[in-house]
Amino acid sequence: MRLLKGAFFLLISIIFISSLFYLYHETRVRRSADVNGVFDSAMNVGQESAFSPCRTSGAIEYLYYPAPSRSPQANNKFGMYIYAENKNYFKLAQELVNSNGGDWGYVLIPYNVRDRDYEKWGRAFKEMRERHLIPVVQLWDINPDNYEKETKEAARFLNSFIWPVRQRYISAYNEMNDARFWRGKIDPAGYAKILRYTMAAFKKENLDFFIMNGAFNTSAADTFETMDAEKYMKKMDEAVPGIFQELDGWASHPYPQPNFSGNPSDRGRWSIRAYEDELEFLKKEFGVTKDLPVFITETGWAHAEGEGYNGSFLPVARVAENFKWAFENVWLKDEKVAAVMPFTIYYPAPFDHFAWVNSDGVPYHHYQVIKSMKKIKGNPASLQVGNSLSMGCR
């Protein structure tokens, strides 16, 4: 009797184990079929394997940035100051900076550090990727009493987008030696601390962030609203020693003064070569040893034409001549200059006298002249699509 009971339990166990094996096998086959069905619909799948009933070959597309080249790269220096809110500005910028043989020109875009409009900025980055525009994002409107929180959140927000090129250029604010652009105060020590924190916070988020200063008003004198730029820089270094040595690049606003009407061949702090004096000051006064690439984030001549005629400025035909001369004889020849982004594609009066198109989006004469200039194809570490990952089943 005990022998019969043992045989019975052994038979039941064998049947149970066999059932489990069958169910496992069927489930695995079904899952393999489901997975391969997804691959079939998502990818170009190869022929059936001679050894397996499932389809075994395919590839998944993925995005990546190549490593920056160690050798000198072609660089299209032409750029333009635009705004993320208007989609048409990206088209106008592309047609200007990537014209006549050009590719991968630059755009300067201001960004409020509290802006969290994912739709607007997602659209902006998509436009720049598709139109081969390299963004230089200029931060603005930081609250000095809450700068740590705002900086961290801004870095996280900007890093969430797919940038057109590997290096993520950031200019930390704008003309801080003018109280109108810094919450009504002149505060070089406060700005120096914010600049250092900005460098650390952005690079903690992503080492591809490339941080430069906010450009100074180099022609400003000591007044109730402004401070001499060199004096301001000295006070920055006193508050945070070595702050300028930590920068990746140098942002500059070399305007042709006086009255935004100076001669393009002039030199000095009131000229389109003001960045030369700034770089020399960094080396002599602060011992900066880096060869900082210069990003001209604003420059340009004011033209008489606009919503109203202003005869104190140059006629637009002369402005066109000056810009062409400046590019051909100064900026394009100077290896220190990485990009030139004139102010501005368009801005309402009274700044419409700096605009490159009118309120209807029609280009002024200097837009057409610079558009016709010969350009080169830039070769940055741009976003690439790969598909070398093969897939299969076993």
d(CA 99, CA 377): 10
Phi, psi of 45 (to 5 degrees): -100, 145
Q: Are residues 224 and 308 in the same domain?
A: yes
Average pLDDT, the chain: 88
Give tens-digit pLDDT for 259-305.
Answer: 999 999 999 999 999 999 999 999 999 999 999 999 999 999 999 99
Q: Which residues pair with 271 in a beta bridge?
A: none
Domain housing 197:
79-371
Q: Are residues 51 and 178 in the same domain?
A: no
Which ranges in 86-187 belong to alpha helices (H)?
87-97, 118-131, 147-159
Q: Are residues 136 and 170 in the same domain?
A: yes
pLDDT category at 13 given cuts 50, 70, 90 is low
Q: Could you identify the residue written with the tokens 């802006």?
A: 115
d(CA 104, CA 175): 27
Q: Are residues 220 and 248 in the same domain?
A: yes
Asked which of 73-77, 98-102, 374-378 is least confident by mean pLDDT, the reply is: 73-77
Give tens-digit pLDDT for 173-189.
Answer: 999 999 999 999 999 99
Q: Is residue 151 part of a domain?
A: yes
Q: Is residue 120 part of a domain?
A: yes
Q: Are residues 222 and 169 in the same domain?
A: yes
Strand order from edge to edge, sheet including 337-340: 250-252, 294-296, 337-340
Q: Are residues 173 and 284 in the same domain?
A: yes
Report the sign of the C-alpha dihedral through residues 260, 264, 266, 272, in that order: positive
Asked which of 58-67, 196-205, 276-285 is least confident by mean pLDDT, the reply is: 58-67
Q: Is residue 73 part of a domain?
A: no
Amino acid at 44: N
Q: Are residues 252 and 341 in the same domain?
A: yes
Per the rule left: phi > 0, alpha: psi between -120 and 50, beta: everything else, 132 is: left
Boundary-marking domain end, from 64, 87, 118? 64
Q: What is the pLDDT of residue 392?
A: 56
User: To 5 degrees, how large is the angle CA 130–CA 134–CA 139?
Assistant: 120
pLDDT category at 386 given cuts 50, 70, 90 is confident
Q: Is residue 69 part of a domain?
A: no
Boundary-marking domain end, from 64, 97, 116? 64
User: Within 10 Å of residue 75's Cβ, how many Cβ atoms?
Assistant: 20
DSSP letter at 178 equals B
Q: What is the pLDDT of residue 61?
A: 80
Q: Is residue 74 part of a domain?
A: no
Question: Largest Cα–Cα distance of the chain, in whole Å?
Answer: 120
Q: Are residues 111 and 18 in the same domain?
A: no
d(CA 102, CA 237): 40
Q: Are residues 45 and 156 in the same domain?
A: no
DSSP letter at 69 equals P
Strands 337-340 and 59-64: unpaired
Q: Are residues 168 and 201 in the same domain?
A: yes
Q: Are residues 304 and 277 in the same domain?
A: yes
User: Within 10 Å of residue 359's Cβ, how many Cβ atoms?
Assistant: 12
Q: What is the pLDDT of residue 70?
A: 73
At 388 the three-state DSSP class reads: strand
pLDDT at 15 over 60: no
Mean pLDDT for the stretch of residues 230-241: 98
Q: Is residue 379 part of a domain?
A: no
Q: Is residue 388 part of a domain?
A: no
Phi, psi of 34 (to 5 degrees): -65, -45
Q: Is residue 113 part of a domain?
A: yes
In DSSP notation, 236-262 reads HHHHSTTGGGG-SBEEE----SSTT--
CATH number at residue 185: 3.20.20.80
Domain count, the chain: 2
Rounded to whole angstroms, what are the CA distances from 153 to 55, 82, 116, 142, 201?
46, 23, 9, 12, 9
Q: Are residues 58 and 83 in the same domain?
A: no
